[in-house]
Amino acid sequence: MNDMILELAKKIKSMYPQKDFIPLHEPKFKGNEQKYIADCIETGWVSSVGKYVDQFERMLAEFTGVKRAVAVVNGTAALHIALKIVGIQPNDEVLIPSLTFVATGNAVVYCGAVPHFIDVSTETLGIDPFKLDDYLRDVAVINGNVCINKQTGRIIRAVVPMHTFGHPVDIDVLFDVCERWNLIMVEDAAESLGSYYKGIHTGNFGKASALSFNGNKIITTGGGGAVLTNDEKLADYAKHLTTTAKRPHRWKYEHDQIGYNYRMPNINAALGCAQLEYIDDLIEKKRRLVQRYEQLIAGCQGVRLFKEPRFARSNYWLQTLIFDENICDINQVLETFNNQKVMSRPIWTPLHLLRPFQNSPKADLQVTEKLQYQIVNIPSSPYLGDDIDG
């Protein structure tokens, strides 16, 4: 097994011999980025108001198929606001996967709510809706059209599916669970720009959803995020809250509630506009990269490449290897790959194991606790798929 891991690392390193070190994911700039940013500088419109913010929001809405997009400073802020506008209240419980980036849990806590951790599916790496439904039958009851946790007495208000590494969860089944238990769905689509569930772009299913444009995402605005929704009133509310809840006026500073200084600067939106102009090409290269990795690991025992679920078309944001349980030590894999200057990383530490969340309610998390020792993300930059025939 050790020889196989070393050989696999060397094969990946040989994919791009021009580079001494292959990072996990880096952005690609090949369009109008410099032109649009220079326009911001030359005109002085570099802050949170400007034509590129409006244009970026329109382009996002058109690309994803939602009615409205509201650009914000990062994906965590986007999820925080998405939860706020759908009515998450202090002391509510919000069902989230434990196998997710810490921002999912943090955004719940920002609302004064309580993360309630649930398990994931091996088919999607996201929420397992069947297991969730069984779990709710044990711990919850509908009382006055509200889902109540029988153990804590708190309202279970919402569920937040996270589309792990760009792979959509089984939305239809999860939506049925939400209807049965009167739960609001808010999608954490931070990683899934360009991913589709049964032909519909992720972010269209939740009452509100969140995107991220961090430097390692499909497209980047440097730092940034967006709230997506098909509800015009919620979109207006999101825009109001993220602009310090300031009432429109030519000169007065009137704020009608506690708001947030979350608006995306124009100069960042300019970068995003340029990136969106060729996002289809970026995604196609990442999908071609899957073919390349399949060829590389062919014949390797005890490891497989994670593939998109049968009902989805994924952006393949991060390429993912899953090692057979008890075959090898993940830390040994990570050390070997990184020693070969092939950047790789494990999946996030499950949130229920982190100190801030150790007292949070949780379901049986057997799959989550196994997967943390099986998953390794490997280099996923679009240029690695450049020379694949499509």
* 159-202 per-position pLDDT tens digit: 999 999 999 999 999 999 999 999 999 999 999 999 999 999 99
- Global pTM reads 0.96
**Are the C-beta atoms of 165 and 147 separated by less than 8 Å?**
no
Average pLDDT of the chain, as a whole number:
96
In which residue ranges of the chain is pLDDT below 50?
388-390
The pLDDT of residue 52: 98
In angstroms, the CA 353 to CA 331 distance is: 18
What are the DSSP calls for 97-127, one per residue?
ESSS-HHHHHHHHHTT-EEEEE-B-TTTSSB
Among positive and negative, which fits the CA dihedral 111, 114, 115, 118?
A: negative
217 is catalytic: yes
**Are the C-beta atoms of 216 and 59 separated by less than 8 Å?**
no
**Are the C-beta atoms of 71 and 224 separated by less than 8 Å?**
yes
Do 2-25+279-385 and 33-276 fold alike per CATH?
no
* Right CATH for 33-276 from 3.40.50.300, 1.10.287.130, 3.40.640.10, 1.10.10.10: 3.40.640.10
Number of CB atoms found within 10 A of residue 153's CB: 8
The pLDDT of residue 175: 97
Catalytic entry in 217, 239, 285, 362: 217
Give the angle subtended at the CA of 136 by the CAs of 135 and 137, to the nearest 5°: 90
The pLDDT of residue 18: 87
**Are the C-beta atoms of 160 and 99 separated by less than 8 Å?**
no
Tokens found for residue 332: 């040994």
Of 129, 133, 130, nearest in space to 147 by CA: 133
84 Cβ neighbours under 8 A, 6+ residues apart: 111, 241
Residue ranges in the chain assigned as alpha helix (H): 2-14, 33-43, 51-64, 75-85, 102-110, 129-139, 171-181, 232-241, 266-276, 279-297, 330-339, 366-371
Tokens found for residue 319: 């390429």
The pLDDT of residue 389: 44
The pLDDT of residue 387: 59
Q: Which helix (H) or strand (E) holds 140?
A: strand 140-143
Q: Is 348 exposed, middle or buried (0-12, 13-18, 19+ CB in 10 A)?
A: middle
The pLDDT of residue 390: 39
In angstroms, the CA 330 to CA 89 distance is: 40
In angstroms, the CA 272 to CA 52 distance is: 9
344 Cβ neighbours under 8 A, 6+ residues apart: 24, 333, 334, 337, 338, 376, 377, 378, 379
In angstroms, the CA 80 to CA 111 distance is: 7
Q: Which residues pair with 209 in a beta bridge?
A: 187, 228
Domain ranges of the chain: 2-25+279-385, 33-276
Of 113, 107, 102, nearest in space to 260 by CA: 107
346 Cβ neighbours under 8 A, 6+ residues apart: 330, 334, 372, 375, 376, 377
CATH superfamily of 2-25+279-385: Aspartate Aminotransferase, domain 1 (3.90.1150.10)
Q: End-to-end distance of the chain based on CA atoms, in angstroms?
A: 33
Supply φ then ψ for residue 74, to 5 degrees: -165, 175
Tokens found for residue 289: 């990269």
79 Cβ neighbours under 8 A, 6+ residues apart: 103, 104, 107, 160, 186, 188, 190, 210, 225
